[in-house]
Amino acid sequence: MKKFLAIATAGSAIAVATPVFAQEDSTFTGPRVEAIIGYDKVKAGSSIDDIYDRNNSMDGLLYGIGVGYDADLGGVVLGAEAELSDSTAKTRFRNGEMQDFGYGRVKTGRDIYIGARVGAKVGPSTLIYAKGGYTNAQLKAIANYGDVDYGSKFKLDGWRVGAGVEQAISTNTFAKIEYRYSKYEDAKFDFGDGGPDTHSFDVDTDRHQVVAAVGMRF
């Protein structure tokens, strides 16, 4: 996890320190903000599937917002970015059995991502890019007693990599589509109501997302 935090920090420093070298007339230079929507799938990692011979998962609609800053250095475009998203994915009963990959009955909560990207222009208005960074997500436990909904949740730390294509629509607007994969290997359990978090424990959870976004540059 620490190495991906270092990558994200380095990417941020590069993007902030180099705007004077950026091409002023580039379509891919400057701050940006975007709205995101897509498909979200959370599942047990390979080690869990191998042990229990199962492939349980939950999926749903992802939605969120992102911000970033890009600098066109001529041959490459470097950028720093951050994202806040949520999802409708939750465990369900199927064929009389509940989906379960180690967390019990849960639904997804907020997901925070901080990272960097590097891209190459394949035309004056088209950019292909790869990205990577740190992600911190929540899984909310689905538990209640009567009318009381308990606020316990899992806090997951991990890393994310992905790739995508961005297309300029006009000088200040763009659309993009990307795939990203997240791996969560550390977790804490929050008991809620002011209770203490557990110590960190190991997990093996994968996340696959295909998203589309539209945004503006300033």
d(CA 109, CA 155): 9
pLDDT of residue 96 exceeding 90, the answer is: no
Mean pLDDT for 191-217 is 85
Mean pLDDT for 118-127 is 94
Are 48 and 57 within 8 A, CB to CB? no
Q: Above pLDDT 70, what percent of the chain?
A: 75
Mean pLDDT for 106-131 is 95
Q: What is the pLDDT of residue 25?
A: 58
d(CA 73, CA 22): 5
- In this prediction, residue 92 has a pLDDT band, given cuts at 50, 70 and 90, of confident
pLDDT of residue 117 exceeding 90, the answer is: yes
Are 154 and 137 within 8 A, CB to CB? no
Per DSSP, the three-state class of 164 is strand
Which range, of 5-14, 65-74, 122-131, 167-176, averages the lowest pLDDT?
Answer: 5-14
d(CA 119, CA 74): 11
pLDDT of residue 7 exceeding 80, the answer is: no
d(CA 109, CA 201): 19
According to DSSP, the residues that pair with 85 across neighbouring strands are 64, 111
**pLDDT tens for each residue of 38-50:** 999 999 887 665 4
* Domains delineated in the chain: 2-217 (2.40.160.20)
